């Protein structure tokens, strides 16, 4: 082989080696790039998964917190029967109404008896309301602090009146309300489940019975009509008996 051919062959091998090295370098860089890309993708994926887990954990925590806040009253009521709960809420609302109307009666009443009764309602029911609120708080229950729509309408209906008309309507309402109150507290004091609530009903009952007696005295016409009716019936029976005896005596006379 001539020198020229040897030089040409050497050049070809040199170029082949250079080409092979270039291809190897390019392939190596490409592999590194792919690895970096995969690594970045894995990192980003892991970061997204971590963020999703954190968001899910936050949602669960917030949801549980909200549920705990919403059911806080229910948790306090877990050991209370439905009868005890109903009595507790009714007593609280009724007490608020008695105090509200009592203020109006003490200021707006015409007769001194109505004024005094109204003030007595404010004093006694404010004390009972405070005791009941403390009892409920100890059980994790929040009582209403304002009248609901139904009781507010009852108060508005009475307070729109004035003079003797107000006295009559207020007295009549107090008689009706305290009949119901006494019956409810008697039932709770004997059949209540919660011992604290039962003790409260037993303690408060004598005061409500006294209120009922006072409310009855404010409504003499209601009891008076009943007594009058009884007297009329008695007089009628007496007259019939006298007439019967008179007719018998007349028939026996010669």
> What confidence tens digit (pLDDT) does each residue in 34-88 have?
555 555 555 555 555 555 555 555 554 444 444 433 333 444 554 689 999 999 9
Looking at every residue in the chain, the average pLDDT score rounds to 76
The pLDDT assigned to 11 comes to 62
Percent of the chain topping pLDDT 70? 56
- Say how far apart CA 233 and CA 221 lie, in whole Å: 18
In a domain, 24, yes or no: no
The pLDDT assigned to 64 comes to 46
134-164 pLDDT, tens digit per residue, is 999 999 999 999 999 999 999 999 999 999 9
pLDDT at residue 24 tops 70: no
In a domain, 90, yes or no: yes
Q: Mean per-residue pLDDT for 12-16?
A: 64
- Looking at per-residue confidence, does 243 or 171 come out higher? 171
CA 89 to chain centre: 7
Q: Mean per-residue pLDDT for 20-27?
A: 60
CATH code for the domain in which residue 211 is found: 1.20.1260.10
The pLDDT assigned to 225 comes to 44
Question: Residue 214 belongs to what domain range?
Answer: 81-220
Dihedral in degrees, nearest 10, Cα atoms 164, 167, 168, 169: 120
Least confident stretch, 74-83, 204-213, 230-239: 230-239
In a domain, 241, yes or no: no
The pLDDT assigned to 235 comes to 46
How many separate domains does the chain show?
1
In a domain, 48, yes or no: no
Report which of 128, 65, 56 is spatially closest to residue 92, judged by C-alpha positions: 128
In a domain, 63, yes or no: no
8 A C-beta contact, residue 133 and residue 70: no
SS3 181: helix
CA atoms within 13 A on the CB side of 175: 16
In a domain, 25, yes or no: no
In a domain, 38, yes or no: no
CA 192 to chain centre: 19
94-125 pLDDT, tens digit per residue, is 999 999 999 999 999 999 999 999 999 999 99
Percent of the chain topping pLDDT 90? 55
The pLDDT assigned to 253 comes to 43
Cβ count near 88 (within 10 Å): 24
**Helices marked H in 109-219:** 112-138, 149-159, 163-191, 195-217
In a domain, 98, yes or no: yes
The pLDDT assigned to 80 comes to 87
């Amino acid at each position: 082989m001539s020198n020229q051919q040897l030089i040409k062959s050497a050049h070809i091998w040199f170029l082949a080696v250079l080409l092979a090295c270039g291809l190897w370098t390019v392939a190596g860089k490409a592999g590194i790039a792919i690895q970096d890309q995969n690594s970045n993708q894995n990192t980003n994926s892991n970061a997204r998964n971590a963020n999703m887990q954190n968001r899910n954990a936050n949602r669960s925590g917030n949801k549980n917190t909200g549920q705990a806040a919403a059911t806080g009253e229910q948790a306090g009521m877990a050991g209370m029967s439905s009868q005890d709960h109903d009595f507790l809420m009714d007593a609280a609302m009724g007490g608020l109404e008695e105090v509200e109307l009592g203020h109006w009666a003490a200021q707006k009443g015409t007769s001194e008896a109505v004024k005094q009764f109204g003030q007595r309602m404010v004093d006694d029911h404010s004390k009972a309301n405070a005791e009941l609120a403390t009892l409920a708080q100890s059980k994790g229950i929040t009582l209403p602090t304002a009248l609901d729509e139904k009781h507010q309408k009852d108060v508005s209906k009475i307070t729109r009146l004035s003079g003797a008309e107000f006295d009559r309507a207020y007295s009549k309402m107090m008689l009706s309300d305290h009949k119901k109150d006494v019956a409810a507290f008697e039932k709770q004091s004997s059949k209540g489940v919660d011992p604290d609530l039962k003790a409260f009903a037993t303690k408060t009952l004598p005061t409500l019975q006294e209120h009922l007696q006072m409310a009855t005295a404010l409504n003499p016409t209601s009891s008076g009509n009943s007594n009058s009716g009884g007297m009329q019936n008695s007089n009628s029976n007496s007259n019939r008996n006298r007439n019967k005896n008179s007719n018998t005596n007349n028939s026996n006379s010669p």
